[in-house]
Amino acid sequence: MKKKVLSKEEIGSNKGKKIVELVNDRDYLIAIVDGVPKDLSYVIKGNEKEIEIVDFDHPKGREAFWHTSSHILAQAVKELFPQVKLTIGPPIENGFHYDFYTGDNTFTPQDLEKIEKKAKEIIERNLEVVRMEISKEEAIRIFRDKGEDFKIELLNEIEDDKVSVYKQGDFVDLCMGPHILRTGLVKAFKILSSSSSYWRKDEKGPVLQRIYGISFPTEKELEKYLKKIEEAKKRDHRKLGKELDLFSYSEDIGAGLILWHPKGAIIRRIIENFMFEEHIKRGYLPVYTPHVGKKKLWEISGHLDFYRENMYPEMEFEEEEGYFVKPMNCPFHIQIYRSNLRSYRDLPLRFFEFGTVYRLERSGVLHGLARVRGFTQDDAHIFCTPEQVEDEIKGVIDFALFVLKKFGFKDYKVYISTKPEEYVGTDEMWEMATNSLIKASKEVNLSFEIAEGEGAFYGPKIDILIRDAIGREWQCTTIQFDFNMPERFNITFRDSDGRDKRPYMIHRALLGSFERFFGVLIEHYAGNFPLWLAPEQVRILPVSEKFMNYAEKVLDVLKREKIRAGIDAENEKLGYKVRKAEIQKIPYLFIVGKKEEEKEAVSVRKHGEGDLGIMEIRKVIKLLREEIESN
RNA sequence: GCCGGGGUAGCUCAGCGGUAGAGCAGCUGAUUUGUAAUCAGCAGGUCGUGGGUUCGAAUCCCUCCCCCGGCUCCA
């Protein structure tokens, strides 16, 4: 990484000069002047406190590089399709995109090829990228002449009457900048995909065509990036799920409904058992509830008002009230709460259930195990007094982090979502609840971001998102206050002063759902499950059929030790069986032949490490036990 | 739900107006195998669904279902 910081003296002595006069623009992309990113054409005033000049390896440098790349993309599109209207084109985490209004037209794959070619041509032209500050009126005139209606809409919202535009060749775009100085600096440029998007995120507004691209200062970096993407695709849980025979779906059953195959199911059960025990240890009480409930229940809960579009339609009967399959467990847990008069001495009450829910997600959002229509949450509802809220939240966060650690997750993001525009409950309740989330997070040194106004209407929440192989983030852990349900179902507890009061209700799921969590877990381990989770922990490979008897004997010992094992009895060469087992990512292979049988031993081969040599059975089992328990 | 791409044997894919093909997997046989693919033979498909165009459709058009990439929305 190249980075240059101008000293006070350098700033003073270069007053009136453009920064680009001090450095080579092939090495440096932009400058950060007193914390604000600027073009290298920035003229030094002399009174700046700090000027930092950065390259592509700096996030701000990269941003500018990709931002300029998005302008190059836009210029290419405008040259090929002059009738297309520009909207916006920001840099993103990996590359950039630009949204175009194309009326009834869309971009075909052939169009994208042409656009990429044209973009490369524009790069060849090595156009200077010039920043111009002009009056708002002038900008409006320019974009009106060009028919850029969307730009005018944006301009009308700018309060300043000075705006900046960037020009490269004949292409002009309204833009804050900064940008790199020449299109020729982009040595590698690739269009990755296209899709639609909505103007201003409004699905009722104009539909735009978005083109995604990536660019780098060298071809080599592009190749490296593309290779990384290829590698990531190999860990995709949908691919591994099929290859390792973990789960599937069936068109005949319906979209977003998961079939857990034996190998997937055993992993799930291990996770369930672990979670069940841990809940009990932490003072949760298990409950089981039905999958359907009467229409009336969902009227009281309010789901039929605010959640109906996500619910499977009503089951109607001739002589009885209709039923709905549950999209959430909360109304059921509330009923258990209501089944008794609750004293303040009973609180906190923590009901937990691996509750299966069904949500009619819109067809386009379904995604492997990560977004499905039927899933099982590791769900719990905590009912407590206001005084207990803080401790309860702390307990839940601690539990969540413990679970993530157990599965080896380190790369996650935490968001605390605050009060939205429309909400239920009092401001005091919101404030108290939100503060308890923030305070608890701070106490366990959890770094988080505040998502202003992103809370659900019924309460603030804290979410933990885990990244998948392709970099997409999935919300797993969620801890949400619910100010709505207790009110609607009018639940109370009898306090020490003999009066009935409203308890606080905290809804939480740690894994989120077994489906999504399993999907993320597969990608996290790239299918190489740690020994305690591996569906087949050991496979015994007899060198030939002659050693089947001994193999059976070894299998018996393993089974007695509760180690999940199998024998590959196929009439094949050893190399073939080893290859098959390696592809299936089986942690340990025990090879048995003449030497092994004589010594009551096995030859151990570990996945990813290879041959570990011959070992006595007793000894290997001890090692396996240790490895299983160490997790 | 929206925009685009796609659905051919269990899997990965070729064929894209003249009537269906490969590799792997499967089955059978031979081989009795020492750490990532032994050889041979056999079998396997109403080309996602329903309709249309055509003398003729896997191939062109439309409907629906499902999958993929995004958008919007969420565990």
pLDDT tens digits, A608-621:
899 999 999 999 99
Gap from A20 CA to B4 C1', Å = 42
What percent of chain A is modeled with pLDDT above 70? 100
SS3 A266: helix
- φ, ψ at A468 (rounded to 5°): -95, -175
Which chain B positions have some atom within 7 A of a protein CB?
1-5, 7, 11-12, 30-38, 65-75
pLDDT at A24: 81
Pair A328, A303: CB distance under 8 Å: yes
Query: Catalytic residue among A461, A508, A585, A605, which?
Result: A461
Q: What angle do CA A188, A190, A193 make, to 5 degrees?
A: 165
- Residue A136 structure tokens: 């708002």
* C1' (B43) to CA (A248) span, angstroms: 26
Task: Residue A229: count other Cβ atoms within 10 Å of its Cβ.
Answer: 14
Catalytic (active site) residue A381: yes
How long is the CA A10 to C1' B21 vector, in angstroms?
A: 72
A29: tokens are: 């992309």
Nucleotide with C1' nearest the A519 CA: B75
Nearest CA-CA partner of A550 in A596, A589, A588: A596
Alpha carbons A323 and A312: distance in angstroms, whole number: 10
pLDDT at A15: 87
Residue-wise pLDDT tens digits, A337-379: 999 999 999 999 999 999 999 999 999 999 999 999 999 999 9
Mean pLDDT of chain A: 94
Lowest-pLDDT choice from A6-15, A268-277, A404-413, A580-589? A6-15
Which protein residue lies nearest to nucleotide B48, measured between its Cα and the C1' atom? A251
Name the active-site residue from A359, A373, A516, A585: A359
Looking only at the bridges linking them, the beta strands covering A259-260 and A349-358 are unpaired
Please tell me which residue lies nearest to nucleotide B33, judged from CA to C1'.
A573
- Among A505, A457, A510, which residue's Cα sits nearest to residue A482? A505
Where is A463: in which H helix or E strand? Answer: strand A461-467
Q: Which pLDDT band, with edges at 50, 70 and 90, does A101 fall under?
A: very high
Nucleotide nearest to A102 (CA to C1'): B3
- Summary count for chain A: helices (H), strands (E): 19, 31
- Give the distance, in angstroms, between residue A581 CA and nucleotide B22 C1': 26
Q: What CA–CA distance (Å, rounded) separates A462 from A475?
A: 10
What span, in angstroms and rounded, lies between the C-alpha atoms of A36 and A34? Answer: 6
The Å distance, CA of A280 to C1' of B49, is 49
Residue pLDDT, tens place only, A417-468: 999 988 999 999 999 999 999 999 999 999 999 999 999 999 999 999 988 7
Q: Which distant-in-sequence residues (6+ apart) come within 8 Å of A374 by Cβ?
A: A256, A257, A258, A356, A357, A358
Q: Does residue A311 sit in helix, strand or coil?
A: coil
Nucleotide nearest to A375 (CA to C1'): B75
Nucleotide nearest to A364 (CA to C1'): B1
Token pair recorded at residue A523: 């990608």
CB of A175 closer than 8 Å to CB of A166: yes
Protein residue minimizing CA–C1' distance to B36: A579
Tokens matching residue A251: 């068109």
Tell me the CA distances in angstroms from A233 to A74, A214, A514, A526, one per residue in order. Answer: 29, 17, 22, 10
**Residue A461 annotated among the catalytic residues of the structure:** yes
Which of residues A510 and A109 earns the better pLDDT score? A510
pLDDT in tens, A159-214: 888 999 999 999 999 999 899 999 999 999 999 999 999 999 998 889 999 999 99
Provide, in whole angstroms, the distance separating residue A1's CA from nucleotide B21's C1'. Answer: 53
| pLDDT of A542 | 96
Round to a whole number and report the distance in Å from the CA of A243 to the C1' of B11.
Answer: 9
Name the 3-class secondary structure at A26: coil
As a whole number of angstroms, the distance between CA A98 and CA A88 comes to 6
Over its C-alpha atoms, chain A yields an Rg (Å, rounded) of: 30
Catalytic residue among A330, A333, A516, A605: A330
Residue of least CA–C1' distance to B65: A251
Catalytic residue from among A268, A381, A524, A539: A381
Whole-number distance in Å between A541 CA and B71 C1': 50
Nearest residue to A596 via CA among A620, A580, A578:
A620
Is A168 catalytic? The answer is: no
The residues near A138 (Cβ < 8 Å, ≥ 6 apart) are none
Active site (annotated) includes residue A507: yes
Residue A566 near residue A558, CB atoms below 8 Å? no
- Phi first, then psi: give them for residue A280, nearest 5 degrees: -60, -45
The catalytically annotated residue of A62, A507, A516, A585 is A507
Tell me if residue A359 is catalytic. Answer: yes
Element (H, E) at A629: helix A617-629
Beta carbons of A388 and A347 less than 8 angstroms apart? yes
Q: What is the pTM assigned to this prediction? A: 0.94
Q: pLDDT: is A570 or A3 the higher one?
A: A570
Average pLDDT estimate for A493-515? 96
* Segment A524-536, tens digit of pLDDT: 999 999 999 999 9
A149-185 burial, b for 16+ CB within 10 Å, e for fewer?
A: ebbbebbeeeeeeebbbbbbeebbbbbebbbbbbbbb
Catalytic entry in A377, A388, A480, A537:
A377
